[in-house]
Amino acid sequence: MKKAILLTLCIVLAAGTLAAQDYKGKGRLSGQVLDQDNKPIEGVRIKFFLPKAGGGFEVVTDKEGKFLAAWMASGAWNVDFEKMGYEIRKIVVDIAEQRKNPDIKMNLKKVEGLMVTDDLKNGLNKANEIFERKDYAGALAAFQALLVKYPEAYILWQNVGNTYFTQEKYDQAEEAYKKVLEKMPGNVDATISIGNCYANRGQADKALEWYGKIDFDKITDATVLYNIGTNYYNMSKFEDALKFYKRSVDVQKDYLDGLYQLGLTYTNLQRKAEAIATFEQYMKIDPDSPRSAQVKGFLDYLKK
Question: What is the mean pLDDT of the segment spanning 247-260?
Answer: 92
Percent of the residues in the chain that have a pLDDT greater than 90, as a whole number: 58
* Whether residue 129 has pLDDT greater than 50: yes
Q: Which pLDDT belongs to residue 115? A: 60
- The number of beta carbons lying within 10 Å of the beta carbon of residue 287 is 11
Q: Which of 103-117, 169-183, 184-198, 263-277 has the lowest mean pLDDT?
A: 103-117
Q: Which pLDDT belongs to residue 121? A: 82
Question: What is the mean pLDDT of the segment spanning 47-74?
Answer: 93
Interval 2-60: pLDDT, tens:
343 333 333 233 333 334 458 899 999 999 999 988 999 998 999 999 988 888 999 99
Average pLDDT along the chain:
86
Q: Which pLDDT belongs to residue 114? A: 59
Give domain 215-304's CATH architecture. Answer: Alpha Horseshoe (1.25)
Q: Quick check: 295 and 263 in contact, CB under 8 A?
A: yes
Question: What is the mean pLDDT of the segment spanning 193-205?
Answer: 89
Domain with CATH 2.60.40.10 in the chain: 23-108
The matching CATH number, chosen from 2.40.10.220, 3.40.50.2000, 2.60.40.10, 3.40.50.300, for 23-108 is 2.60.40.10
Question: What is the mean pLDDT of the segment spanning 272-301?
Answer: 94
Domain with CATH 1.25.40.10 in the chain: 215-304
201, burial (CB in 10 Å: exposed 0-12, middle 13-18, buried 19+): middle
Question: What is the mean pLDDT of the segment spanning 122-149?
Answer: 92
SS3 content of the chain, % helix, strand, coil (to 5): 55, 15, 30
Distance CA 177, CA 190 (A): 5
**Model confidence at 154, in pLDDT bands (50, 70, 90)?**
confident
Q: Quick check: 87 and 108 in contact, CB under 8 A?
A: yes
Q: Which pLDDT belongs to residue 167? A: 93
Question: What is the mean pLDDT of the segment spanning 99-125?
Answer: 81
